[in-house]
Structure 1
């Protein structure tokens, strides 16, 4: 089985995304880095020892990646919003083989000292209208959450709306009581405990 690893808030620019998340949660994000293979960059917020949130956007200073960027950033428009969630697996090849069609190809990626394998869809879209999690296998014992400062924030609930909640639930590799599937237009909404009380992002 898989475990919830992190959440991705997409934005037209990193600055816009960071401002929106910091205003919503009342806490500061910290520097992340660049992803040369995807021409993106991010900033991060720790949600505990093995979970975090990232704001991610196209890196305007990077060379085009020559393939669709992850998290639908090539087609992203509008205000910053929670667009994807990422599940951690021990064997990415096996997880992708068991996942719905379109979950991606196993791709080796890195940022600074972190190394991982990621299921990258050919068209940048994940199954179930991006409601199915992206799959990640961390390499070695390094994980970004462990390197982040304590934020006082913790994930309480991830609500995922989809027109076919039964099929999505059956396909999910994650069994986590905080992950709740409901019927509706495809959308993600998260409730986070912060030093200022419970806050939501959508």
Structure 2
């Protein structure tokens, strides 16, 4: 089974922080998203070229704290808003769990007309210091990457840097290959996305 890049996400201690950081770099306003009642989070979105999309996400203080860890390690997120997660999609979440058991257990979720299943670790922490991609299967015929109006921004590259980045690349290589996603060994962990704007300008988001 092959996996494809679905979207990338900026996290913040608050959604306002995540949105402000994203808009300051991308130069376009993010669109309203919604609430994720299961994990008590909320988001805003932006359509990209090539069927991809962008998400700003944070804990939603207006919802009750769940009795279990939130996804994306958001319970422990601290500091400035930053590009923090990337998400790949599959067509068979059970097979994906068999291939990558460390990605977590399937959790069925919905928001409005959207329906999906995501693999979420029991403690909410993705492997490789949070740099392992979250894995999603959409049950909606037209997921956000297909329905959101494109901002005109095209993802040129996503660089995953960390002390074990090449080990992560090797772990994913049997099922995931995307020339836009690069892995670089570095002392510190960081995700860096480079976009091309409609006028050809290069935008770098960290």
Q: Which TM bucket (shorter chain)? A: over 0.9
- 2:18 corresponds in structure 1 to 17
- 1:146 corresponds in structure 2 to 146
| CA positional deviation for 1:110 | 0.7
User: Given that residues 6 and 145 in structure 2 are in contact (C-alpha distance below 8 angstroms), is that contact kept between their aligned partners in structure 1?
Assistant: no
User: What TM-score comes out, normalization by structure 2 length?
Assistant: 0.93
- 2:94 corresponds in structure 1 to 93
Which digits, 9 at most, give the CA deviation of each residue in 1:31-78, with x for residues without a partner? 011000010000001112521110001111111121111111101111
Equivalent position to 1:200, from 192, 197, 204: 204
Secondary structure (helix, strand or coil) at the match of 2:67 reads: coil
For 1:14 and 1:165, how far apart are their aligned partners in 2? 28
- 2:28 corresponds in structure 1 to 27
- 1:78 corresponds in structure 2 to 79
- 1:175 corresponds in structure 2 to 177
Runs of 4+ in 1 over 3 A off after TM superposition: none
How many residues align? The count is 201
Secondary structure (helix, strand or coil) at the match of 1:17 reads: helix
| CA positional deviation for 1:195 | 3.4
- 2:68 corresponds in structure 1 to 67
User: What TM-score comes out, normalization by structure 1 length?
Assistant: 0.95
1:42-53 superposed matches below 5 A: 42-48=43-49, 50-53=51-54
For 2:166 and 2:193, how far apart are their aligned partners in 1? 20
User: Given that residues 102 and 125 in structure 1 are in contact (C-alpha distance below 8 angstroms), is that contact kept between their aligned partners in structure 2?
Assistant: no
Once structures 1 and 2 are overlaid, which stretch shifts more, 42-51 or 24-33?
Answer: 42-51
| CA positional deviation for 1:117 | 0.4
Unaligned runs of 5+ in 1: none
Which digits, 9 at most, give the CA deviation of each residue in 1:172-202, with x for residues without a partner? 1320000000101222111011235111111
User: Given that residues 88 and 136 in structure 2 are in contact (C-alpha distance below 8 angstroms), is that contact kept between their aligned partners in structure 1?
Assistant: yes
| CA positional deviation for 1:95 | 1.0
Give the helix-richer structure, 1 or 2: 2
Q: RMSD of aligned C-alpha atoms?
A: 1.2
Is 1:191 matched with 2:188? no
For 2:90 and 2:15, how far apart are their aligned partners in 1? 28
Once structures 1 and 2 are overlaid, which stretch shifts more, 145-154 or 132-141?
Answer: 145-154
1:126-165 superposed matches below 5 A: 126-165=126-165
Which digits, 9 at most, give the CA deviation of each residue in 1:60-117, with x for residues without a partner? 1111121111111101111100111000001111112111x53110110011100000
